[in-house]
Structure 1
Protein backbone atom coordinates (compact mmCIF):
# COMPACT_ATOMS: atom_id res chain seq x y z
CA UNK A 1 0.00 0.00 0.00
CA UNK A 2 1.19 3.50 -0.87
CA UNK A 3 0.59 6.24 1.70
CA UNK A 4 0.17 9.77 0.34
CA UNK A 5 0.95 11.94 3.34
CA UNK A 6 -1.65 14.39 4.59
CA UNK A 7 0.48 17.12 6.16
CA UNK A 8 -1.55 20.18 5.28
CA UNK A 9 0.02 21.04 1.91
CA UNK A 10 -2.00 21.86 -1.22
CA UNK A 11 -2.50 20.31 -4.66
CA UNK A 12 -3.69 16.98 -3.35
CA UNK A 13 -6.53 16.15 -5.74
CA UNK A 14 -4.32 16.00 -8.85
CA UNK A 15 -1.74 13.86 -7.08
CA UNK A 16 -4.28 11.34 -5.81
CA UNK A 17 -5.95 11.13 -9.20
CA UNK A 18 -2.60 10.45 -10.86
CA UNK A 19 -1.61 7.78 -8.31
CA UNK A 20 -4.99 6.08 -8.76
CA UNK A 21 -4.19 5.50 -12.44
CA UNK A 22 -1.52 2.95 -11.48
CA UNK A 23 -2.72 1.46 -8.20
CA UNK A 24 -5.91 1.23 -6.18
CA UNK A 25 -3.95 0.30 -3.09
CA UNK A 26 -3.22 3.76 -1.73
CA UNK A 27 -4.37 5.98 1.12
CA UNK A 28 -4.29 9.73 1.73
CA UNK A 29 -3.51 9.72 5.42
CA UNK A 30 -1.77 11.07 8.47
CA UNK A 31 -2.55 7.97 10.54
CA UNK A 32 0.78 6.77 12.02
CA UNK A 33 -0.22 3.11 11.87
CA UNK A 34 -1.20 3.31 8.22
CA UNK A 35 2.09 5.02 7.43
CA UNK A 36 4.10 2.45 9.39
CA UNK A 37 2.50 -0.35 7.40
CA UNK A 38 2.79 1.22 3.95
CA UNK A 39 5.23 -0.03 1.32
CA UNK A 40 6.03 3.48 0.03
CA UNK A 41 5.36 7.07 1.05
CA UNK A 42 4.66 10.11 -1.12
CA UNK A 43 5.12 13.68 0.16
CA UNK A 44 2.93 15.74 -2.20
CA UNK A 45 1.85 19.31 -2.46
CA UNK A 46 2.89 22.86 -2.91
CA UNK A 47 3.27 25.47 -0.22
CA UNK A 48 5.75 26.98 2.22
CA UNK A 49 8.87 25.11 3.43
CA UNK A 50 8.63 26.42 6.99
CA UNK A 51 4.93 25.56 7.19
CA UNK A 52 5.49 22.09 5.79
CA UNK A 53 8.11 21.30 8.43
CA UNK A 54 5.99 22.88 11.20
CA UNK A 55 3.03 20.74 10.16
CA UNK A 56 5.09 17.54 10.17
CA UNK A 57 6.13 18.24 13.74
CA UNK A 58 2.73 19.53 14.91
CA UNK A 59 0.94 16.46 13.51
CA UNK A 60 3.53 14.12 15.05
CA UNK A 61 4.56 12.90 11.61
CA UNK A 62 8.25 13.78 11.37
CA UNK A 63 9.42 10.85 13.48
CA UNK A 64 7.10 8.53 11.56
CA UNK A 65 8.59 9.67 8.25
CA UNK A 66 12.10 9.30 9.71
CA UNK A 67 11.30 5.73 10.73
CA UNK A 68 9.94 4.99 7.27
CA UNK A 69 13.17 6.17 5.63
CA UNK A 70 15.38 4.39 8.17
CA UNK A 71 13.54 1.14 7.40
CA UNK A 72 14.68 1.41 3.79
CA UNK A 73 11.21 1.84 2.29
CA UNK A 74 10.85 4.27 -0.66
CA UNK A 75 9.96 7.93 -0.18
CA UNK A 76 8.98 10.22 -3.07
CA UNK A 77 8.80 14.00 -2.56
CA UNK A 78 7.01 16.31 -5.02
CA UNK A 79 7.58 20.10 -5.18
CA UNK A 80 7.57 21.21 -1.53
CA UNK A 81 7.86 17.51 -0.65
CA UNK A 82 11.04 17.51 -2.75
CA UNK A 83 12.45 20.60 -1.05
CA UNK A 84 12.02 19.37 2.52
CA UNK A 85 14.16 16.31 1.70
CA UNK A 86 17.20 18.62 2.00
CA UNK A 87 19.06 20.09 4.95
CA UNK A 88 17.55 23.57 5.24
CA UNK A 89 15.83 26.46 3.44
CA UNK A 90 15.78 30.23 3.59
CA UNK A 91 12.02 30.12 2.98
CA UNK A 92 11.21 30.89 6.59
CA UNK A 93 8.33 32.59 8.36
CA UNK A 94 10.90 34.42 10.49
CA UNK A 95 11.44 38.14 9.87
CA UNK A 96 15.19 37.62 10.11
CA UNK A 97 16.79 37.76 6.65
CA UNK A 98 19.58 35.43 7.74
CA UNK A 99 17.27 32.81 9.24
CA UNK A 100 16.94 29.32 7.82
CA UNK A 101 14.61 26.50 8.72
CA UNK A 102 15.78 22.91 9.10
CA UNK A 103 14.52 20.30 6.64
CA UNK A 104 14.39 16.50 6.89
CA UNK A 105 18.04 16.23 5.90
CA UNK A 106 17.79 12.99 3.94
CA UNK A 107 19.86 14.53 1.15
CA UNK A 108 22.81 16.90 1.29
CA UNK A 109 21.90 20.30 -0.11
CA UNK A 110 20.08 23.50 0.67
CA UNK A 111 16.99 25.27 -0.64
CA UNK A 112 17.55 28.87 -1.67
CA UNK A 113 15.45 31.48 -3.45
CA UNK A 114 16.14 32.44 -7.05
CA UNK A 115 17.86 35.80 -6.83
CA UNK A 116 19.19 38.33 -9.29
CA UNK A 117 17.75 40.81 -11.73
CA UNK A 118 17.70 38.22 -14.51
CA UNK A 119 15.35 35.87 -12.66
CA UNK A 120 11.59 36.09 -12.97
CA UNK A 121 10.18 34.68 -9.75
CA UNK A 122 8.29 32.50 -9.31
CA UNK A 123 9.38 30.09 -12.00
CA UNK A 124 6.03 29.03 -13.44
CA UNK A 125 5.28 26.92 -16.48
CA UNK A 126 6.74 24.30 -18.75
CA UNK A 127 10.47 23.75 -18.87
CA UNK A 128 12.82 21.10 -20.19
CA UNK A 129 14.44 18.39 -18.15
CA UNK A 130 18.00 17.40 -18.99
CA UNK A 131 18.76 13.83 -18.00
CA UNK A 132 22.17 13.07 -16.58
CA UNK A 133 23.02 10.31 -18.99
CA UNK A 134 25.71 8.81 -16.80
CA UNK A 135 23.21 8.21 -14.01
CA UNK A 136 20.90 5.21 -13.81
CA UNK A 137 17.38 6.39 -13.08
CA UNK A 138 14.21 4.65 -11.99
CA UNK A 139 12.00 7.72 -12.31
CA UNK A 140 13.22 8.74 -15.76
CA UNK A 141 13.10 5.33 -17.39
CA UNK A 142 11.66 5.68 -20.92
CA UNK A 143 11.45 9.48 -20.57
CA UNK A 144 13.06 11.21 -23.58
CA UNK A 145 15.82 13.69 -22.78
CA UNK A 146 14.75 17.35 -22.86
CA UNK A 147 11.08 16.50 -22.25
CA UNK A 148 8.94 19.27 -20.77
CA UNK A 149 7.53 19.28 -17.23
CA UNK A 150 5.43 21.74 -15.25
CA UNK A 151 7.18 23.85 -12.59
CA UNK A 152 5.86 26.34 -10.07
CA UNK A 153 8.38 27.44 -7.43
CA UNK A 154 10.48 30.37 -6.22
CA UNK A 155 13.16 28.31 -4.48
CA UNK A 156 15.55 25.69 -5.82
CA UNK A 157 18.09 23.24 -4.42
CA UNK A 158 21.79 24.16 -4.35
CA UNK A 159 24.98 22.45 -3.17
CA UNK A 160 23.39 19.08 -3.87
CA UNK A 161 25.62 16.01 -3.95
CA UNK A 162 26.12 15.17 -7.61
CA UNK A 163 25.53 11.44 -7.24
CA UNK A 164 21.94 12.09 -6.16
CA UNK A 165 21.00 14.20 -9.20
CA UNK A 166 19.45 12.40 -12.19
CA UNK A 167 17.77 15.37 -13.89
CA UNK A 168 18.45 19.10 -14.25
CA UNK A 169 16.42 22.09 -15.38
CA UNK A 170 17.82 25.32 -16.81
CA UNK A 171 16.21 28.63 -15.86
CA UNK A 172 17.69 31.95 -17.04
CA UNK A 173 21.04 30.29 -17.58
CA UNK A 174 21.22 28.50 -14.22
CA UNK A 175 20.94 24.74 -14.06
CA UNK A 176 19.41 23.37 -10.90
CA UNK A 177 18.50 19.84 -9.74
CA UNK A 178 14.98 18.85 -10.75
CA UNK A 179 15.09 15.08 -10.14
CA UNK A 180 16.95 13.33 -7.33
CA UNK A 181 17.33 9.64 -6.60
CA UNK A 182 19.53 8.21 -3.89
CA UNK A 183 18.87 4.84 -2.31
CA UNK A 184 15.25 4.88 -1.18
CA UNK A 185 14.88 8.66 -1.60
CA UNK A 186 13.24 10.06 -4.74
CA UNK A 187 12.05 13.54 -5.62
CA UNK A 188 10.99 15.94 -8.36
CA UNK A 189 10.95 19.73 -8.10
CA UNK A 190 8.27 19.84 -10.80
CA UNK A 191 4.75 18.42 -10.54
CA UNK A 192 4.60 15.08 -12.39
CA UNK A 193 0.86 14.90 -11.79
CA UNK A 194 0.45 18.13 -13.81
CA UNK A 195 2.96 17.24 -16.51
CA UNK A 196 0.81 15.21 -18.89
CA UNK A 197 2.04 11.85 -20.22
CA UNK A 198 5.71 12.17 -19.30
CA UNK A 199 4.87 13.27 -15.76
CA UNK A 200 2.45 10.41 -15.34
CA UNK A 201 5.13 8.05 -16.64
CA UNK A 202 7.39 9.16 -13.77
CA UNK A 203 4.71 8.24 -11.24
CA UNK A 204 4.10 4.96 -13.04
CA UNK A 205 7.83 4.20 -12.95
CA UNK A 206 7.95 4.84 -9.21
CA UNK A 207 4.89 2.75 -8.42
CA UNK A 208 5.96 -0.17 -10.64
CA UNK A 209 9.40 -0.18 -9.01
CA UNK A 210 7.92 -1.07 -5.62
Structure 2
Protein backbone atom coordinates (compact mmCIF):
# COMPACT_ATOMS: atom_id res chain seq x y z
CA UNK A 1 0.00 0.00 0.00
CA UNK A 2 1.16 3.52 -0.84
CA UNK A 3 0.59 6.29 1.68
CA UNK A 4 0.34 9.74 0.07
CA UNK A 5 1.14 11.91 3.05
CA UNK A 6 -1.37 14.54 4.09
CA UNK A 7 0.92 17.15 5.63
CA UNK A 8 -0.98 20.29 4.74
CA UNK A 9 0.52 21.16 1.36
CA UNK A 10 -1.30 22.03 -1.87
CA UNK A 11 -1.81 20.53 -5.33
CA UNK A 12 -2.94 17.12 -4.16
CA UNK A 13 -5.86 16.26 -6.44
CA UNK A 14 -3.87 15.88 -9.67
CA UNK A 15 -1.27 13.76 -7.91
CA UNK A 16 -3.86 11.37 -6.49
CA UNK A 17 -5.60 11.13 -9.86
CA UNK A 18 -2.31 10.24 -11.56
CA UNK A 19 -1.44 7.59 -8.96
CA UNK A 20 -4.89 6.04 -9.37
CA UNK A 21 -4.05 5.25 -13.01
CA UNK A 22 -1.56 2.62 -11.84
CA UNK A 23 -2.86 1.35 -8.51
CA UNK A 24 -5.94 1.43 -6.32
CA UNK A 25 -3.93 0.40 -3.29
CA UNK A 26 -3.12 3.87 -1.96
CA UNK A 27 -4.42 6.29 0.65
CA UNK A 28 -4.14 10.03 1.18
CA UNK A 29 -3.54 9.94 4.90
CA UNK A 30 -1.89 11.16 8.06
CA UNK A 31 -3.03 8.24 10.17
CA UNK A 32 -0.13 6.69 12.13
CA UNK A 33 -1.45 3.14 11.75
CA UNK A 34 -1.58 3.50 7.96
CA UNK A 35 1.85 5.13 7.74
CA UNK A 36 3.43 2.37 9.82
CA UNK A 37 2.15 -0.32 7.47
CA UNK A 38 2.77 1.52 4.20
CA UNK A 39 5.05 -0.10 1.63
CA UNK A 40 5.91 3.34 0.25
CA UNK A 41 5.28 6.98 1.12
CA UNK A 42 4.85 9.85 -1.34
CA UNK A 43 5.45 13.45 -0.24
CA UNK A 44 3.51 15.57 -2.76
CA UNK A 45 2.55 19.20 -2.86
CA UNK A 46 3.25 22.84 -3.54
CA UNK A 47 4.17 25.46 -0.98
CA UNK A 48 6.97 26.84 1.18
CA UNK A 49 9.85 24.81 2.58
CA UNK A 50 9.53 26.14 6.12
CA UNK A 51 5.78 25.50 6.22
CA UNK A 52 6.27 21.94 4.97
CA UNK A 53 8.87 21.24 7.66
CA UNK A 54 6.85 22.95 10.40
CA UNK A 55 3.83 20.87 9.45
CA UNK A 56 5.86 17.65 9.58
CA UNK A 57 7.59 18.48 12.85
CA UNK A 58 4.65 19.97 14.76
CA UNK A 59 2.24 17.20 13.73
CA UNK A 60 4.67 14.45 14.66
CA UNK A 61 4.47 13.05 11.13
CA UNK A 62 8.20 13.43 10.64
CA UNK A 63 8.81 10.56 13.05
CA UNK A 64 6.86 8.20 10.80
CA UNK A 65 8.70 9.41 7.68
CA UNK A 66 12.07 8.99 9.41
CA UNK A 67 11.15 5.50 10.62
CA UNK A 68 9.95 4.60 7.14
CA UNK A 69 13.26 5.62 5.55
CA UNK A 70 15.30 3.89 8.27
CA UNK A 71 13.34 0.72 7.51
CA UNK A 72 14.60 1.08 3.90
CA UNK A 73 11.11 1.50 2.48
CA UNK A 74 10.71 3.70 -0.64
CA UNK A 75 10.02 7.42 -0.22
CA UNK A 76 9.18 9.66 -3.19
CA UNK A 77 9.18 13.47 -2.87
CA UNK A 78 7.53 15.72 -5.48
CA UNK A 79 8.19 19.48 -5.82
CA UNK A 80 8.22 20.77 -2.22
CA UNK A 81 8.38 17.12 -1.18
CA UNK A 82 11.56 16.88 -3.25
CA UNK A 83 13.12 19.98 -1.70
CA UNK A 84 12.61 18.90 1.91
CA UNK A 85 14.62 15.73 1.20
CA UNK A 86 17.74 17.93 1.41
CA UNK A 87 19.66 19.39 4.35
CA UNK A 88 18.24 22.90 4.57
CA UNK A 89 16.70 25.84 2.70
CA UNK A 90 16.92 29.63 2.81
CA UNK A 91 13.20 29.86 1.99
CA UNK A 92 12.01 31.43 5.24
CA UNK A 93 8.51 32.92 5.20
CA UNK A 94 8.57 34.22 8.75
CA UNK A 95 11.39 35.08 11.12
CA UNK A 96 14.96 36.03 10.35
CA UNK A 97 15.51 36.08 6.58
CA UNK A 98 19.20 35.32 7.12
CA UNK A 99 18.41 31.98 8.71
CA UNK A 100 17.99 28.62 7.05
CA UNK A 101 15.38 25.96 7.78
CA UNK A 102 16.58 22.38 8.40
CA UNK A 103 15.16 19.72 6.08
CA UNK A 104 14.94 15.95 6.34
CA UNK A 105 18.59 15.61 5.27
CA UNK A 106 18.16 12.28 3.48
CA UNK A 107 20.18 13.64 0.54
CA UNK A 108 23.24 15.89 0.85
CA UNK A 109 22.61 19.32 -0.63
CA UNK A 110 20.96 22.63 0.13
CA UNK A 111 17.96 24.45 -1.31
CA UNK A 112 18.68 27.99 -2.47
CA UNK A 113 16.78 30.59 -4.47
CA UNK A 114 17.59 31.19 -8.12
CA UNK A 115 19.91 34.19 -8.38
CA UNK A 116 20.06 34.70 -12.14
CA UNK A 117 19.44 38.16 -13.61
CA UNK A 118 18.83 36.97 -17.15
CA UNK A 119 15.85 34.73 -16.56
CA UNK A 120 12.52 34.80 -14.80
CA UNK A 121 11.97 33.60 -11.27
CA UNK A 122 9.93 31.59 -10.51
CA UNK A 123 10.81 29.00 -13.09
CA UNK A 124 7.40 28.09 -14.50
CA UNK A 125 6.64 25.90 -17.49
CA UNK A 126 8.09 23.17 -19.66
CA UNK A 127 11.77 22.39 -19.74
CA UNK A 128 13.94 19.53 -20.94
CA UNK A 129 15.11 16.93 -18.49
CA UNK A 130 18.56 15.49 -19.14
CA UNK A 131 19.31 12.01 -17.85
CA UNK A 132 22.45 11.35 -15.83
CA UNK A 133 23.71 7.92 -14.83
CA UNK A 134 20.72 6.37 -16.67
CA UNK A 135 21.77 2.82 -15.82
CA UNK A 136 21.33 3.67 -12.13
CA UNK A 137 17.89 5.23 -12.48
CA UNK A 138 14.66 3.45 -11.61
CA UNK A 139 12.44 6.50 -12.12
CA UNK A 140 13.70 7.28 -15.63
CA UNK A 141 13.84 3.71 -16.87
CA UNK A 142 12.73 3.33 -20.51
CA UNK A 143 12.24 7.09 -20.92
CA UNK A 144 13.76 9.25 -23.63
CA UNK A 145 16.51 11.70 -22.76
CA UNK A 146 15.64 15.39 -23.16
CA UNK A 147 11.94 14.79 -22.57
CA UNK A 148 9.93 17.76 -21.33
CA UNK A 149 8.74 18.09 -17.73
CA UNK A 150 6.60 20.74 -16.05
CA UNK A 151 8.29 22.92 -13.41
CA UNK A 152 7.03 25.58 -11.02
CA UNK A 153 9.55 26.71 -8.38
CA UNK A 154 11.80 29.57 -7.26
CA UNK A 155 14.32 27.47 -5.34
CA UNK A 156 16.59 24.65 -6.47
CA UNK A 157 19.13 22.28 -4.91
CA UNK A 158 22.83 23.16 -4.91
CA UNK A 159 25.89 21.22 -3.74
CA UNK A 160 24.09 17.92 -4.20
CA UNK A 161 26.03 14.68 -3.81
CA UNK A 162 26.82 13.64 -7.37
CA UNK A 163 25.96 9.98 -6.98
CA UNK A 164 22.34 10.79 -6.12
CA UNK A 165 21.62 12.84 -9.26
CA UNK A 166 19.93 10.95 -12.11
CA UNK A 167 18.38 13.89 -13.96
CA UNK A 168 19.00 17.61 -14.31
CA UNK A 169 17.47 20.68 -15.94
CA UNK A 170 19.28 23.46 -17.79
CA UNK A 171 17.51 26.74 -17.02
CA UNK A 172 19.15 29.47 -19.12
CA UNK A 173 22.58 27.99 -18.58
CA UNK A 174 22.16 27.03 -14.95
CA UNK A 175 22.12 23.28 -14.53
CA UNK A 176 20.40 22.05 -11.39
CA UNK A 177 19.46 18.56 -10.15
CA UNK A 178 15.84 17.75 -10.96
CA UNK A 179 15.76 14.01 -10.18
CA UNK A 180 17.51 12.33 -7.27
CA UNK A 181 17.65 8.66 -6.35
CA UNK A 182 19.58 7.55 -3.29
CA UNK A 183 18.89 4.07 -2.05
CA UNK A 184 15.22 4.03 -1.11
CA UNK A 185 14.82 7.84 -1.42
CA UNK A 186 13.53 9.31 -4.69
CA UNK A 187 12.49 12.78 -5.75
CA UNK A 188 11.60 15.06 -8.66
CA UNK A 189 11.67 18.86 -8.62
CA UNK A 190 9.08 18.93 -11.41
CA UNK A 191 5.53 17.65 -11.22
CA UNK A 192 5.33 14.21 -12.89
CA UNK A 193 1.54 14.28 -12.51
CA UNK A 194 1.46 17.39 -14.74
CA UNK A 195 4.10 16.22 -17.22
CA UNK A 196 1.83 14.15 -19.45
CA UNK A 197 3.00 10.70 -20.61
CA UNK A 198 6.61 11.33 -19.58
CA UNK A 199 5.70 12.18 -15.99
CA UNK A 200 3.08 9.47 -15.74
CA UNK A 201 5.69 6.91 -16.76
CA UNK A 202 7.89 8.09 -13.88
CA UNK A 203 5.05 7.48 -11.43
CA UNK A 204 4.37 4.13 -13.03
CA UNK A 205 8.04 3.15 -12.75
CA UNK A 206 8.02 4.00 -9.06
CA UNK A 207 4.80 2.14 -8.35
CA UNK A 208 5.75 -0.93 -10.40
CA UNK A 209 9.07 -1.18 -8.53
CA UNK A 210 7.37 -1.68 -5.16
Contact 2:134 2:140 in 1 (8 A): no
Distance across 2 between alignment mates of 1:66 and 1:201 = 27
CA distance in 2, matches of 1:64, 1:143: 32
Q: What pairs with 1:8-47 in structure 2 (closer than 5 Å)?
A: 8-47=8-47
| Contact kept? 1:35, 1:64, Cα under 8 Å | yes
What is the CA–CA distance in structure 2 between the aligned matches of 1:20 and 1:59, rounded to whole Å? 27
Using the alignment, how far apart are the partners of 1:94 and 1:144 within structure 2? 41
Contiguous gaps of at least 5 residues in structure 1: none
What SS does structure 2 have at the residue aligned with 1:178? strand
Are the equivalent residues in 2 in contact too, given 1:130–1:146 (CA < 8 A)? yes
Aligned match of 2:118 = 118
Paired residues of 2:134 and 2:141 also in contact (CA < 8 A): no
Paired residues, number: 210
TM-score (normalizing by structure 2) = 0.98
CA contact (8 A) 2:45 2:81 kept: yes
Aligned equivalent of 2:7:
7
What SS does structure 2 have at the residue aligned with 1:160? coil
Q: Structure 2: how far apart are the matches of 1:35 and 1:96?
A: 34
Rounded to whole Å, the distance in 1 between the matches of 2:199 and 2:134 is 21
Is the 8 Å Cα contact of residues 18 and 193 (structure 2) preserved in structure 1?
yes
Q: Distance in 2 between matches of 1:199 and 1:142?
A: 12
**2:56 corresponds to which residue?**
56
Q: Structure 1 residue 177 and structure 2 residue 170: aligned?
A: no
The alpha-carbon distance between structure 1 residues 134 and 196, as it changes in their structure 2 partners (threshold 3 A), is: closer
CA RMSD between the two structures: 0.9
Partner of 1:198: 198
Pair 1:81-2:81 in alignment: yes
Aligned-partner Cα distance in 1 for 2:42–2:121? 27
Query: Structure 2 CA distance, aligned partners of 1:96 and 1:18?
Result: 38
Go from structure 1 to structure 2 and tell me whether the alpha carbon gap of 1:6 and 1:162 turns closer, same or farther (over 3 Å shift): same
User: CA 1:139–1:117 in 2, change beyond 3 Å: closer, same or farther?
Assistant: same
SS of the aligned residue for 1:148 comes to strand
Alpha-carbon distance in structure 2 between the residues aligned to 1:143 and 1:119? 28
Q: Name the structure 1 match of 2:72.
A: 72
Change (3 A) 1:10 1:134: closer
Runs of 4+ in 1 over 6 A off after TM superposition: none
Cα shift readout 1:119-147 (whole Å, capped 9, x = no counterpart)? 31000000000001454110001110000
User: CA 1:134/1:12 → structure 2, altered by over 3 Å: closer, same or farther?
Assistant: closer
